[in-house]
Amino acid sequence: PITPGELLCLGSSLAFSGLFYYLYRKKARVVARIQEAPKLQVDDNLPALVSAADGRCLPYVALEGIVLPAKAVLTSHYHEGLQGVIQKLLLKEHRLIWNSLARSW
């Protein structure tokens, strides 16, 4: 005989497994899109290509070319000789709304 506690544990285990599998598949699709991203060169043709795209935006692309840092080059703490730069940093703040029922923001 199966007790109600065992059924509860089995049901919650199946629910969590389904949730985690769904999240895994969702992230796997994003990774596949990134790996299929077209590789573009940083050259004079890039602005024309971006302006010709839908919404003047290229969703996933890999840019290849030589860039110069604005201030200092970023060096990796984990891989010797690996350097990089940050071209643009976008910070988006979400507006907080007071929830009077939960008494929290």
Domain membership flag for residue 42:
yes
- pLDDT, the chain, mean: 85
- Residue 92 in domain: no
Q: How far is CA 81 from CA 65, 74, 75, 103, in A?
A: 18, 11, 7, 51
Residue 104 lies in a domain: no
* pLDDT confidence bin for 90, thresholds 50/70/90: low
Asked if residue 93 belongs to a domain, the reply is: no
**22 inside domain:** yes
Query: How many domains, in total, are found in the chain?
Result: 1
Q: Closest by alpha carbon to 88, among 75, 66, 70?
A: 70
**Would you say residue 26 lies in a domain?**
yes
pLDDT in tens, 9-47: 999 999 999 999 999 999 999 999 888 888 888 888 888
Q: What is the pTM of this model?
A: 0.47
Supply 105's token pair.
Answer: 């923001």
Decide if 89 is inside a domain.
Answer: no
Residue type, 103: R
* Mean pLDDT of the 54-66 span: 82
- Residue 20's domain comprises 4-84
More confident of the two residues 66 and 24: 24
